[in-house]
C-alpha cells in the first residue's frame, strides 16, 4: 500500500515538472504574442496583464507602415528557398559521386570537404566580404544565397545515406541501360527523400536565421533579411538611442517573424528531429 502511494507521489512530481517545463518554455512566446496585441498605453501598465484589455492590430499596422517589413520577409523567403533548392541539387549530385563512384581522388576530396566542418564560418566572413565587394554583389539577394551553397553538412548527410543504399539497386538499373544521371535522378533521389527533407530543413533554417553574414553583406534597407531587420528595432548598438523602446511594435514584428518558423516546425516536426539527430551525430 505504501509502495503504491510512493509511486503515485512520484508520478505526480513528474507531471508537475513536465508542466513547469512546458510553461517556462512557452511563457516568453505567449508574452510576446500578448504584448503584440496591446495598445501603447496598456503595454507599460503595471502590474502586467496576460490578457490585453483592448486588443488591437495597431502595432502590426505601425510595423508594416514604418518599416520595410514585407520587403525583409520577401528577401528572407527568396534567399532561403533558392539556397535550399540549390543545395539539394548540387549536394545530392556530389554525395552520389562520393558514395557510389570510383574515381581518382575520391577519398582525398571527401576529406577536404569534411575538414571544413572544423573551420568556423567566421573565418570566411572577411574574405567573402572582399570577394562580393569586388564583384559588386554586396547588397544583393545572390549575396544572401551563394555562401550557403558551399555548405558541408548536406554533402555529409547525403553521402552517408547513399553509402547505405545497396549496390544491387544500381546494378539492376545499369543492366536496364540507365546512365548515371538517370540513376541519380530516378533511383537515388526518391530513395533519399527522408534525408533530403532533413537537409532541406537544416539548410532552410540556417539560411532563414543566419545573422552575421547578412548583417555584414547588406547595408541597404531594401536588401535586409528579417533577422537583421528585426535587430534594428532597438538594442545596444543598432537601435535609435535616446528614444524610449517601443515594445509593442517590436513584439508585433517579432511575432510576425516567428509565426512562419513555428508553423513550419509544427507541420514538419518529424524532419526537424531527424535533421538534428543527423547533424548531432556527426560529432
* Closer CB to another protein, 127 or 190, in the complex: 127
* Closer CB to another protein, 54 or 171, in the complex: 171
* Closer CB to another protein, 61 or 126, in the complex: 126
CB of 222 to another protein, least distance (A): 19
CB of 193 to another protein, least distance (A): 19
* Closer CB to another protein, 50 or 65, in the complex: 50
Asked if 220 contacts 64 with a C-beta cutoff of 8 angstroms, the reply is no
Asked if 120 contacts 183 with a C-beta cutoff of 8 angstroms, the reply is no
CB of 61 to another protein, least distance (A): 19
CB of 172 to another protein, least distance (A): 8
CB of 9 to another protein, least distance (A): 14
* Closer CB to another protein, 152 or 191, in the complex: 152
Q: How many beta carbons lie within 10 A of that of residue 28, not counting itself?
A: 9
Q: What is the dihedral of CA 186, 189, 193, 198, to 10 degrees?
A: -170
CB of 142 to another protein, least distance (A): 11
- Closest CA relative to residue 217, chosen from 162, 151, 150, 138: 138
Contacting residues for 17 by C-beta, under 8 A, at least 6 apart: none
Rounded to a whole number of angstroms, the distance between the first and last alpha carbons of the chain is 48
Asked if 226 contacts 152 with a C-beta cutoff of 8 angstroms, the reply is no
| Structure letter (DSSP) for residue 244 | P
* Residue 94 to residue 116: CA distance in whole angstroms: 16
Amino acid at each position: 500500500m505504501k509502495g503504491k502511494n510512493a509511486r503515485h507521489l512520484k508520478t505526480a512530481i513528474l507531471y508537475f515538472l513536465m508542466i513547469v517545463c512546458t510553461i517556462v518554455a512557452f511563457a516568453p512566446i505567449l508574452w510576446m504574442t500578448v504584448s503584440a496585441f496591446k495598445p501603447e498605453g496598456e503595454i507599460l501598465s503595471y502590474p502586467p496583464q496576460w490578457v490585453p484589455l483592448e486588443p488591437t492590430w495597431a502595432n502590426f499596422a505601425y510595423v508594416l507602415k514604418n518599416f520595410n517589413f514585407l520587403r525583409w520577409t520577401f528577401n528572407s523567403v527568396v534567399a532561403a528557398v533558392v539556397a535550399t533548392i540549390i543545395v539539394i541539387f548540387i549536394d545530392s549530385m556530389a554525395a552520389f559521386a562520393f558514395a557510389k563512384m570510383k574515381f581518382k581522388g575520391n577519398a582525398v576530396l571527401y576529406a577536404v570537404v569534411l575538414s571544413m566542418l572544423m573551420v568556423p564560418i567566421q573565418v570566411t566572413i572577411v574574405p567573402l566580404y572582399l570577394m562580393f565587394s569586388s564583384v559588386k554583389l554586396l547588397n544583393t539577394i545572390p549575396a544572401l544565397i551563394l555562401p550557403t551553397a558551399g555548405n558541408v553538412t548536406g554533402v555529409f548527410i547525403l553521402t552517408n545515406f547513399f553509402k547505405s543504399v545497396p549496390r544491387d539497386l544500381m546494378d539492376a538499373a545499369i543492366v536496364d541501360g540507365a546512365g548515371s544521371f538517370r540513376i541519380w535522378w530516378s533511383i537515388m533521389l526518391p530513395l533519399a527523400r527522408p534525408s533530403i527533407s532533413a537537409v532541406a530543413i537544416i539548410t532552410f533554417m540556417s539560411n532563414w536565421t543566419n545573422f552575421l553574414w547578412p548583417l555584414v553583406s547588406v547595408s541597404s534597407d531594401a536588401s535586409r533579411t528579417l533577422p537583421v531587420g528585426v535587430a534594428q528595432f532597438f538594442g545596444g548598438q543598432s537601435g535609435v538611442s535616446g528614444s524610449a523602446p517601443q515594445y509593442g511594435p517590436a513584439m508585433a514584428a517579432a511575432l510576425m517573424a516567428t509565426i512562419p518558423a513555428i508553423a513550419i516546425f509544427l507541420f514538419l516536426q518529424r524532419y526537424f528531429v531527424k535533421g538534428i539527430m543527423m547533424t548531432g551525430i556527426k560529432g
